[in-house]
Copies of this chain bind each other. A is one copy, B any other.
């Protein structure tokens, strides 16, 4: 209901909202082919060994979770479907206004209110989505793998800047050690003294290798977030971003609804068509009229 912006779902969320603010939201992003889904499947298994509940949201339309190609991963994740301590939901990003961040954020609130202590959000780490998820999550994991093209994808895409933890997955493949070294060097060169050194871990998700270390790094990062006060700052920042995205979307809806029947709008277009004023000038005049001071 919430995904579809159904009034019933949104009402429910309003009632539930005050129970949020306890979950650790972990974003997992990286280029296609880096094995994010396998990694998440292994990580879920590892988290379940400590009996904590865990929710997984996949916002990657090409993800095996949403019906993609890699049958093996899907089957692994299916294992968890029988486990009531694991909730898995895949959603298409649907090119909705405001992108993936907003729709996802509302589902995260729901899962948070439902009491999941850990929420893993998987996004494809190309373009804006990877950066969006970093605004939403308190801990961002950037997954890389050797042999995904020339150079290290995470560096090229600018994703490294948002990484709290970097994982080189498929560590059994050639080039993994070199990718890890390059990432280590790049991160050290750009390191900020206010933040802990970003771990660069090697995993082989299909063999469950390195997963315990990854889980440990996630827990350590959460400790640092708590102790440094950064957790509260990141939560507030995420909420502010969410309000801004929703505000933009809300204004745009008002704009489109009003412009079609507003005589001021029709009049402005007429003046532009006559060559009286430029489109830019018309927009400035209209926005001045639209916005109260």
Contacts and interface: CB of A to CB of B under 8 A. Distances in A.
Interface of A: 10, 13-14, 17-21, 105-106, 109, 235-236, 239-240, 242-252, 254-256, 259, 265, 268-269, 272-273, 275-284, 286-287, 289-292
Contact of A282 (B109, B246, B248, B276): B246
Contacts of A281: 14
Nearest to A13: B278
A198 B287 CA distance: 39
B248 A279 contact: no
Nearest to A10: B280
Given A235-B273, A248-B255, 7 more contacts: A10-B278, A18-B275, A243-B268, A243-B282, A244-B283, A246-B279, A251-B290
A283 B247 contact: yes
A255 B246 contact: no
B272 A239 contact: yes
Interface majority SS (helix, strand, loop, mixed), chain A: helix
B10 A275 contact: no
B283 A243 contact: yes
Contacts of A251: 251-252, 255, 287, 290-291
A283 B14 CA distance: 13
Copies of this protein chain in the complex:
2
Contact of A247 (B14, B242, B287): B287
Given A240-B269, A268-B243, A275-B18, A250 B283 contact: yes
Shortest beta-carbon contacts, A-B, top 10: A246-B283, A242-B279, A292-B292, A250-B287, A247-B283, A18-B275, A17-B278, A243-B279, A239-B272, A243-B282
A284 B251 CA distance: 9
19 contacts: A13-B280, A14-B281, A18-B275, A18-B276, A106-B278, A109-B278, A235-B273, A236-B273, A243-B286, A244-B283, A246-B279, A246-B280, A246-B282, A246-B284, A247-B255, A247-B286, A247-B287, A250-B284, A251-B287
B14 A279 contact: no
Given A273-B235, A292-B290, A278 B14 contact: yes
A19 B282 CA distance: 17
A276 B283 CA distance: 36
A112 to B, nearest CB: 10
Nearest to A240: B269
Nearest to A19: B275
A282 B14 CA distance: 11
A292 B254 CA distance: 11
Contacts of A254: 287, 291
A250 to B, nearest CB: 4
A14 to B, nearest CB: 6
Nearest to A275: B18
